[in-house]
């Protein structure tokens, strides 16, 4: 497996999701969650927090720091030199990217940031879980369960009939 530093637009997009819903980005820090690497306000083990617009630059920085930790884990001799300087946060608004673009960027980020031994308990991983849940909530328009429409015909599979 290899690793690279994701681009600034990817980090901006992932951080921006925190303000795409009316509620902010909900994070629950389960037991064993490590504190943030950067200056992001910490929920604390067993605690929850909503991140809002005032947290966006720190969310981006937290994601960036975990990606750098992944580079160091994968390339111990020169991982940090691959990261570059970084850029200030630039918001990406809900009408400027699709949900599928967010999920694609999230998959890319997780693949690149997962090399450190602390990834599963990292705060960045927790942010990724929160970002995914936020996007799922927006896609589903808040619907949590599925109910089959009344009168919907039941499909019959020929293989099911033959196996009986």
Residue 159 falls inside a structural domain: no
Q: Does 30 map to a domain?
A: yes
Q: Is 155 helix (H, G, I), strand (E, B) or coil?
A: coil
Q: Does residue 90 form part of some domain? A: yes
DSSP letters spanning 102-141: HHHHHHHHHHHHTTSTTGGG-HHHHHHHHHHHHHHHHHTT
Q: What is the Cα–Cα distance from 15 to 55, expressed in whole angstroms?
A: 9
Q: Among 17-21, 71-75, 125-129, 139-143, name the one with the lowest average pLDDT.
A: 139-143
Q: Which domain holds residue 133?
A: 8-146
Residue 157 lies in a domain: no
* Mean pLDDT computed over 8-15: 98
The three-state secondary structure class of 51 is strand
Q: Rounded mean pLDDT of the chain?
A: 92
Read off the pTM: 0.88
142 and 49 in contact (C-beta within 8 Å)?
A: no
For residue 1, being part of any structural domain is answered with no
- Exposure on the CB side of residue 46, measured as CA atoms within 13 A: 1
For residue 153, the model assigns a pLDDT of 85
* Residue 163 resides in a domain: no
pLDDT at 9: 98
28 in Cβ contact with 51 (< 8 Å):
no
Q: Is 161 domain-assigned?
A: no
Number of domains in the chain: 1
Stretch 78-96: mean pLDDT, rounded? 89
* Structure confidence by residue, pLDDT tens digits, 92-113: 999 999 999 999 999 999 999 9
Residue 151 belongs to some domain of the structure: no
Percent of the chain having pLDDT more than 90? 71
Query: 130 pLDDT band (50/70/90 cuts)?
Result: very high
Instruction: Report the distance separating Cα 15 and Cα 42, nearest Å.
Output: 16
Q: How far apart are CA 25 and CA 17, in angstroms?
A: 7
């Amino acid at each position: 497996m290899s690793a690279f530093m994701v681009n600034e637009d990817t980090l901006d997009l992932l951080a921006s999701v925190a303000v795409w819903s009316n509620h902010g980005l909900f994070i629950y820090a389960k037991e064993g969650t490590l504190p943030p690497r950067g200056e992001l306000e910490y929920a604390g083990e067993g605690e929850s927090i909503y991140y809002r617009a005032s947290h966006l630059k720190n969310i981006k920085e937290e994601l960036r720091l975990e990606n750098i930790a992944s580079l160091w884990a994968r390339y111990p001799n020169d991982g940090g030199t691959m990261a570059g300087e970084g850029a200030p946060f630039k918001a990406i608004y809900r009408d400027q990217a699709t949900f599928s673009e967010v999920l694609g960027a999230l998959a890319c980020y997780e693949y690149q940031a997962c090399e450190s031994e602390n990834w599963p308990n990292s705060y960045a991983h927790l942010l990724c879980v929160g970002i995914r849940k936020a996007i799922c909530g927006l896609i589903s328009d808040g619907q949590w369960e599925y109910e089959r429409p009344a009168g919907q015909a039941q499909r019959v599979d020929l293989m099911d009939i033959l196996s009986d």
